[in-house]
Amino acid sequence: MELTVYLAGQIHDNWREELKVEAQKRNLPLTFVGPQTDHDRSDQIGEAILGEQPGHYYRDDAASAVNNFRTEVLMRKADVVIGLFGEKYKQWNTAMDVSTAITLNKPTIIIRPDSLIHPLKELSNKVNVTVETIEQALDVLAYIYE
Amino acid sequence: MELTVYLAGQIHDNWREELKVEAQKRNLPLTFVGPQTDHDRSDQIGEAILGEQPGHYYRDDAASAVNNFRTEVLMRKADVVIGLFGEKYKQWNTAMDVSTAITLNKPTIIIRPDSLIHPLKELSNKVNVTVETIEQALDVLAYIYE
Amino acid sequence: MELTVYLAGQIHDNWREELKVEAQKRNLPLTFVGPQTDHDRSDQIGEAILGEQPGHYYRDDAASAVNNFRTEVLMRKADVVIGLFGEKYKQWNTAMDVSTAITLNKPTIIIRPDSLIHPLKELSNKVNVTVETIEQALDVLAYIYE
Amino acid sequence: MELTVYLAGQIHDNWREELKVEAQKRNLPLTFVGPQTDHDRSDQIGEAILGEQPGHYYRDDAASAVNNFRTEVLMRKADVVIGLFGEKYKQWNTAMDVSTAITLNKPTIIIRPDSLIHPLKELSNKVNVTVETIEQALDVLAYIYE
Amino acid sequence: MELTVYLAGQIHDNWREELKVEAQKRNLPLTFVGPQTDHDRSDQIGEAILGEQPGHYYRDDAASAVNNFRTEVLMRKADVVIGLFGEKYKQWNTAMDVSTAITLNKPTIIIRPDSLIHPLKELSNKVNVTVETIEQALDVLAYIYE
Amino acid sequence: MELTVYLAGQIHDNWREELKVEAQKRNLPLTFVGPQTDHDRSDQIGEAILGEQPGHYYRDDAASAVNNFRTEVLMRKADVVIGLFGEKYKQWNTAMDVSTAITLNKPTIIIRPDSLIHPLKELSNKVNVTVETIEQALDVLAYIYE
Amino acid sequence: MELTVYLAGQIHDNWREELKVEAQKRNLPLTFVGPQTDHDRSDQIGEAILGEQPGHYYRDDAASAVNNFRTEVLMRKADVVIGLFGEKYKQWNTAMDVSTAITLNKPTIIIRPDSLIHPLKELSNKVNVTVETIEQALDVLAYIYE
Amino acid sequence: MELTVYLAGQIHDNWREELKVEAQKRNLPLTFVGPQTDHDRSDQIGEAILGEQPGHYYRDDAASAVNNFRTEVLMRKADVVIGLFGEKYKQWNTAMDVSTAITLNKPTIIIRPDSLIHPLKELSNKVNVTVETIEQALDVLAYIYE
């Protein structure tokens, strides 16, 4: 049984690559989808398509429109959503994506360091499983196939 | 037409009181609901009801269970959700509540300072209206009754 | 049994007032809600709340955000939606509102002159009842109470 | 990941062909579906199947029944909906289809010329992304695959 | 706790009145709604509102449009649906209304004589409770208040 | 685009075979599913699986349970539902299946002879298209592929 | 804000009365609904309404039909569901009611003794809050009003 | 037509294997999914992934989180759910899974011995078909393909 996994979360490091490599090592039949991970491209996509916008609010809104479109298309295809929170950045869009997944009754996992237990406690209580490492998230996915 | 408004967001200052006072000045037939705003009570409610927990993760999880229960009960009653983001704090539960509201097709407004345009851009693009002040949020609510 | 009726459609004449007067004559226990009918106020509401916008597209988008918020709040309360199409104007927001109502399984009526049969044929086929006059729309509503 | 795209909108020119050619040039794995684009066939399909109808209203209603059936079948299969509005024609069925897609939470794009900003402002505010050209719409679709 | 009960079914005898009288005797806090029970009015309502139609099919379709509108408005308000089938008549609209109620997860009861067990077996298997008399249907409703 | 079509309706003649043959002639990529068409098997399936039942009501209920299970499984897979009504029999299960399909927003067609216009008028008004012959139903399906 | 609470669970002791008394002491604006708590009446209600059934399976099925009808009507009205599990009895209907509530996104609490932690672990993990005493359940409800 | 069947229920004997063997004998195109059937693994999976927990409640809750995640992923893929109840054990998670399936409108079968008629009567009344043996459950599945 092939499953599609949406990887929500920060795009400032290569955690998605690590996770994909690890999934391949384990031979799990998973397809991974997620947001644009080229940060500059993600921020500029609105103006790249729609042309220059009159200020930073409008520039951000145009980019978000295209990024949210992408997320919606791909999340509709996802069987599982994994959200990773790191110690830096606000990551409200990660919280938004994970919460959307929960409300759509998609099974969800969040990965977060011990240091974020307190600020993420409500979201953690709502998702199916909260883990601290990429390996643990894959353990949960691998368990489906046992 | 009476409307119920859920006020999501930080519980570290008295923005809800300001908003309620302003709503009363304008004679808007609104009922406001929201989370527990006594921060200590909110953090301790799990242990207050369920007894001492074996560590901070379990203490936070127990508190979140009760807080999420409260939020779900009240948000189901809400016709409109307003989420306020301030410059401090992670506020991931605010993003979670607002995103839940959007996914449930509840009309939503977010209030956030100009400085948060960039990190909130995706959420801002998804809600109905984004404003910067409590007064503006009330302008939007008052417009329903014009 | 009291019913709430959302009156979608053009805001360039006083058809809503005519319909309300007629409903009162018939003593129907109906509450009517609808969009802002002061055309200038409707077009300016975005800038009135959010401040001056950098061009007509942004001005229109800001106004639409507030108007769509109002429509969503009120349509959620509506038991019935009536959409009126006149011979002038594009009225795509009327088609949007009526189509939203149909998709949400709200009982809907459209009022349109004979001259608009052809361009409105798909929408007319989808709504519950299509009539040509306000009186006929009220006949349909009154029939609920016979 | 293959996606199915429903192309709503006017059937008076060959914009769908242009869009498909452009998609092929970019090697996007998209399947396009849409309404009957032979205008006469579309208008006559009711009588072609059900026999002569007693007047233009009934003829239009019979055609719309078959056209709406087709649209519903294909839109249920679509992952994305694109609606194009041109400067001529009422195009209320395009607004209807796009609004149906939004209410069903299908990701949507509209293409419209600058001259239609004002009459389409509410719909534009509700869809994910509004663009002015077919190329821009494909830019948005292509971005999913980056 | 007040409940609203939609009474679907034949309009050729006065079973609704019997049921209402019996409910009053038992002091049950029930509000009953249902279709137009004046058979001629029900058949003529399309032409009464929309004017003469070009043949019996169109006359019936116009009447059904108004009757279905009424049913949809009232069934949305109903907490419970009761459908009565008698030995005469096709009563496909009764089966339609009951099936709609089931699919909308509204609790449903059907009343039918012993002689209709076989033709109604699938519908009977799907509803909550099948009884043979009006008194039994009221027994089921009364049980809610015990 | 392959489509699955559920064929609801009477199982006393071979209309399904006629329809399938005609679909093959036209090379339409359709898969047809439907109820058990061996009438005796359909009536006896409850006792065949569950053993002898204590009377005709219980025998019919047991059979209906298995038949409704089959219908639910297959209708969930269907993109389109076609219901055929003939002049004999009550066919309330056909009305039930078609009404279920409509409420689930599945595109539906009914086939019925001219003589059944009046008793089927409400259902006819609700489905997408009503036709009189198998050929016309296939014309509607074929139109999807034009 | 008045809330309606459905009390699912065993009907072999008077835990519902205890809970109601405690709620009154605290002046909570709660309305409680629940199943028939007269055990004999609950088991006999099928035959009481429908007449003698041909064996214990049919007797139980008839009673369950009426009891499930009652539960569905009342649970649709409930804002919150509380399920209590005791040490005796199978209580599969309690698990069924609580699971139904969760799947319908109704906020839920379960009350169960420490001895049932292991067999109830999956259900406990799914509900909002799990407590051991009636007082704790009321603490959770009372927290909504703080 | 391939169907996926979720096998809910006790993991203390090899009923799933028996059922799969029987399905293969009959050449039914069915894919079976279900919970982890290694009982120890199922109970330990929480600690296996998340590390040692501070007591049996937390250990059980961690295991349930991972098991519920697995169940949700697989049940979303299932066309049919079969739940087996044996005479031993509480099996509340089986009741939970079957009730979830019913509420999600998935066709369901339960298998239970004659001795469990009474405690399972409400659940039995809600599912599509209740049988006593694995062979009967397969008879019901096989009937889909007749």
ipTM of this predicted structure: 0.96
CA–chain centroid gap for G119, Å, is: 18
Q: Nearest chain E residue to F85 by CA: give it.
A: E92
3-state per-residue secondary structure call for G55-82: CHHHHHHHHHHHHHHHHHHHHHHCCEEE
Nearest by CB to residue F125, choosing from E64, E103, E125, is: E64
pLDDT, tens digit only, all 146 positions of chain E: 999 999 999 888 899 999 999 999 999 999 999 999 999 999 999 999 999 999 999 999 999 999 999 999 999 999 999 999 999 888 999 999 999 999 999 999 999 999 999 999 999 999 999 999 999 999 999 999 99
Query: Can you give the C-alpha Rg of chain E in angstroms?
Result: 16
pLDDT given for residue B11 in this prediction: 86
| β partners of residue E80 | E5
- Asked if D143 lies within 8 A of A36 by C-beta distance, the reply is yes
Distance from CA of G63 to the nearest CA of E (A): 10
Residue C54 maps to a domain: no
Does the pLDDT value for residue A88 go beyond 90?
no
Enumerate the residues of chain A whose CB falls inside 8 A of the CB of residue B71: 122
Domain region containing B31 = 3-37+77-144
**Do B and A make contact, counting contact as 3+ CB pairs within 8 angstroms?**
yes
User: Model confidence over B99-125: pLDDT tens digits?
Assistant: 999 999 999 999 999 999 999 999 999
User: Model confidence over D84-137: pLDDT tens digits?
Assistant: 999 988 899 999 999 999 999 999 999 999 999 999 999 999 999 999 999 999
**Do E and B make contact, counting contact as 3+ CB pairs within 8 angstroms?**
no
Enumerate the residues of chain F whose CB falls inside 8 A of the CB of residue E85: 92
User: Model confidence over C57-111: pLDDT tens digits?
Assistant: 999 999 999 999 999 999 999 999 999 999 988 899 999 999 999 999 999 999 9
Residue A131 maps to a domain: yes
**Alpha carbons D145 and D139: distance in angstroms, whole number:** 10
Angle at B123 between CA D138 and CA B12, to 5 degrees: 170
Enumerate the residues of chain D whose CB falls inside 8 A of the CB of residue F79: 73, 76-77
**Alpha carbons D46 and D65: distance in angstroms, whole number:** 7
Residue F66 maps to a domain: no
Both tokens of residue G41?
Answer: 């009446």
User: Model confidence over G73-86: pLDDT tens digits?
Assistant: 999 999 999 999 99
Enumerate the residues of chain H whose CB falls inside 8 A of the CB of residue A144: 70, 73-74
| β partners of residue H6 | H33, H81
- The number of domains in chain H is 1
- Asked if F72 lies within 8 A of H129 by C-beta distance, the reply is no
Distance from CA of A37 to the nearest CA of B (A): 15
Residue B62's CB is within 10 A of a number of other CB atoms, namely 24
**Alpha carbons A103 and A94: distance in angstroms, whole number:** 14
Q: What is the CATH number of the domain that holds F135?
A: 3.40.50.450
Residue A11 maps to a domain: yes
Hey, of E122, E126, E127, which one would you mutate to test binding to chain F, going by the most F CBs within 10 A of its CB? E122
Nearest by CB to residue A79, choosing from H31, H38, H76, is: H76
Enumerate the residues of chain H whose CB falls inside 8 A of the CB of residue B55: 54
**Alpha carbons H37 and F128: distance in angstroms, whole number:** 47
Angle at A26 between CA A24 and CA A29, to 5 degrees: 65
User: Model confidence over F100-136: pLDDT tens digits?
Assistant: 999 999 999 999 999 999 999 999 999 999 999 999 9
Enumerate the residues of chain B whose CB falls inside 8 A of the CB of residue G128: 65-66, 68-69, 72
Enumerate the residues of chain E whose CB falls inside 8 A of the CB of residue D54: 54-55, 58
Enumerate the residues of chain E whose CB falls inside 8 A of the CB of residue F105: none
Enumerate the residues of chain H whose CB falls inside 8 A of the CB of residue B56: none
The single residue listed with the structure tokens 């990024």 is: A67
Using an 8 Å Cβ cutoff, are A79 and A5 in contact? yes
Does the pLDDT value for residue C13 go beyond 90?
no
**Alpha carbons C35 and C20: distance in angstroms, whole number:** 15
* A12 or G48, greater pLDDT: G48
**DSSP conformation class of H133:** S
Nearest by CB to residue A60, choosing from B71, B121, B126, is: B121
Residue G82 maps to a domain: yes
Backbone φ and ψ for G138, nearest 5 degrees, come out as -70, -35
Hey, of H44, H45, H50, which one would you mutate to test binding to chain A, going by the most A CBs within 10 A of its CB? H50
| Cβ-based neighbours of A40, under 8 Å, separated by 6 or more | none
Enumerate the residues of chain E whose CB falls inside 8 A of the CB of residue F92: 85, 91-92, 95, 119-120, 122-123
Residue E88 maps to a domain: yes
- Asked if F117 lies within 8 A of E56 by C-beta distance, the reply is yes
Question: Which amino acid is it at B78?
Answer: A
Residue E28 maps to a domain: yes
Nearest to D7 by CA among D29, D27, D36, D28: D36
Residue F67 maps to a domain: no
pLDDT given for residue H127 in this prediction: 98
- Asked if A79 lies within 8 A of H68 by C-beta distance, the reply is no
For chain G, the residues whose C-beta falls within 8 A of a C-beta of chain H are 56-57, 60-61, 63-65, 67-68, 71, 85, 89-93, 95-100, 102-104, 116-126
**Alpha carbons B98 and B33: distance in angstroms, whole number:** 14
| Cβ-based neighbours of B116, under 8 Å, separated by 6 or more | A90, B85, B87
**Alpha carbons G58 and G64: distance in angstroms, whole number:** 10
Q: Are strands E129-131 and E108-111 parallel, antiparallel or unpaired?
A: parallel
Residue F143's CB is within 10 A of a number of other CB atoms, namely 20
pLDDT given for residue A12 in this prediction: 80
**Alpha carbons H82 and H20: distance in angstroms, whole number:** 12
- Asked if D65 lies within 8 A of F129 by C-beta distance, the reply is yes
**DSSP conformation class of C114:** G
Hey, of F5, F33, F43, F50, which one would you mutate to test binding to chain H, going by the most H CBs within 10 A of its CB? F50
Hey, of D3, D50, D52, which one would you mutate to test binding to chain F, going by the most F CBs within 10 A of its CB? D50
| Cβ-based neighbours of A51, under 8 Å, separated by 6 or more | none
Q: Strand, helix or coil at A14?
A: coil
Both tokens of residue G56?
Answer: 């214990």
Packing angle between helix E92-103 and helix F92-103, nearest 10 degrees?
A: 40
Total CB pairs under 8 A between chain B and H: 6
- Asked if F69 lies within 8 A of H129 by C-beta distance, the reply is yes
pLDDT given for residue H11 in this prediction: 86
**DSSP conformation class of E114:** G
**DSSP conformation class of G6:** E
Neighbours of chain D (3+ CB pairs under 8 A): A, C, E, F
